[in-house]
Amino acid sequence: MVVAPFAVQARPSGLLAQQTQTQPKRDRANRLNLTDAQKQQMQAIREQTRTAIVNEVLTAEQRNQYNATAQSGNKKGAMRSLNLTEAQRTEIRNRMRASRERIEREVLTQQQRDQLQQRRNQQGQRSSRQGA
């Protein structure tokens, strides 16, 4: 019998990974005390952005691959599975950033924007302490 050492990197299962990725967003939304109307507006903006990215940034082949994978309910995984060019990645990042800025500008109240900025500042301070 031969025993060979090996390393295992633990990764959460697909469902667990999705839950851990979306949980902070829910917590963030709860901490900002978003109204149902605000949540609906945010979802509409996100959906508009996603549709624009799929229709305007992806090639026809990528769009077909995305749609086939997304129909199974895994839109994030569908986007990750595409072989995107660096230019496409940059364009998607820019559109996502613009979408977040639009949400902050058009949906959030001034108080909510202030709370969000305060949390970002706190996260930045934690990150800089960890890197030191």
User: CA triplet 85, 11, 58: central angle to 5 degrees?
Assistant: 20
**pLDDT tens for the chain, residues 1 to 132:** 444 443 333 333 343 343 334 445 556 667 889 999 999 999 999 999 999 999 999 999 999 999 998 888 887 788 888 999 999 999 999 999 999 999 999 999 999 999 999 998 988 877 777 765
Here the contacts of 96-101 (C-beta below 8 Å, separation 24 or greater) are: 96/49, 98/49, 99/45, 99/46, 99/48, 99/49
Q: Assess contact for 68 and 79: CB atoms under 8 A.
A: no
The string of pLDDT tens digits covering residues 50-62 is: 999 999 999 999 9
pLDDT at 77: 84
Cβ-in-10-Å burial (0-12, 13-18, 19+) of 113 comes to middle
Q: By C-alpha distance, which of 114, 116, 123 is closest to 29?
A: 116
pLDDT at 81: 86
Regarding pTM above 0.85, the answer is: no
Which residues have a Cβ under 8 Å from the Cβ of 68 and sit 6 or more positions away? 78
